[in-house]
Amino acid sequence: LYFENSFVGKSSLDVNQLKDTLTISLGTDNSILVKREKRKDFTSKKVLGSNKTDTYSFLLTVRNNKSTPVEITINDQIPVSSNNSITVDPIELSGGKLNQQTGEIKWDLEMKPQENKQIIFTYSVKYPKDKVIILE
């Protein structure tokens, strides 16, 4: 396999697929940079009555270092609770689509050459103060 005039490796292709499009992975593209940082100023822990509320916020920075526009999908996830006494509420998703069952957030971006985009997502977790949960 060659990608952008560079040898990226050998692969076997399944030509018996029942689709008209052949899907293959070419690995990591070093021209697209994605950085995920915790926003410490927007992360907090509060005790209110018999419940604790932890709020977490993250900043995703995406940069297209290519000389051509690209379409990119960014995936992240918030926790999902199977316990009724623990609730997870999305606060800010920057236009991302949330799957309530899996907690997956998906952003579909169209990026121009040399463009930077920032995505903020914030969620809170409310749980009884006598329980210990690990979110990090």
3-class SS at 40?
helix
In this prediction, residue 74 carries a pLDDT of: 95
Check pLDDT > 80 for residue 13: no
Pairwise CA distance, residues 62 & 40, whole Å: 19
Residue indicated by tokens 């076997």: 12
Check pLDDT > 70 for residue 17: no
Check pLDDT > 90 for residue 117: yes
Check pLDDT > 80 for residue 15: no
Check pLDDT > 70 for residue 51: yes
Of 9-18, 86-95, 104-113, minimum mean pLDDT range: 9-18
In this prediction, residue 3 carries a pLDDT of: 74
Check pLDDT > 70 for residue 101: yes
SS3 content of the chain, % helix, strand, coil (to 5): 0, 50, 50
Q: pTM of the predicted model, to two decimals?
A: 0.79
